[in-house]
Amino acid sequence: MPQRNAYQRKVNSVSAVQLKLDLIEFRFRKWGAEQRCKKNDWLVDNEGDVYPVDKDYFDKYYRQIGPGEYTKVGTVWAEQAAHTGFTPTLEGQSEFRVGDYIVYDQPEGGDAHVVEKSKFEVMYALVADDKN
């Protein structure tokens, strides 16, 4: 099993809008699989990478810093993938490749998402004293 370490997001901001619409269904393909959004979920624009975020997850891990501008807060736990595969997410599932990071909201796992290695290493910093 790969080693899971604690990380924090480097200084950042994203643009986001909440889907306050009477949605029946919002489905699309991203991350190698079908994704879906629900009423009151958020669409996040992270430097041109646009993706959905579950409402409860967004409420817990994002803070508003300006009109339509948010920052991600808190610690995440991530491990590098040793093989290719898929991991379940709140929005569907995401494909990962060797070297990508599978990122969780809890030390033991929990809600997951995948970040490409090159993006992860720009966006996150290892927590110096990883006591989880």
Question: pLDDT tens for residues 60-101?
Answer: 999 999 999 999 898 999 999 999 999 998 888 999 999 999
Strand-by-strand arrangement of the 85-89 sheet:
26-30, 33-37, 92-96, 85-89
pTM summary value: 0.75
Instruction: Name the pLDDT band for 31 (thresholds 50, 70, 90).
Output: confident
Q: How far is CA 1 from CA 4, 80, 81, 82, 83, in A?
A: 9, 10, 9, 9, 11
> How many whole angstroms separate alpha carbon 52 and alpha carbon 24?
16
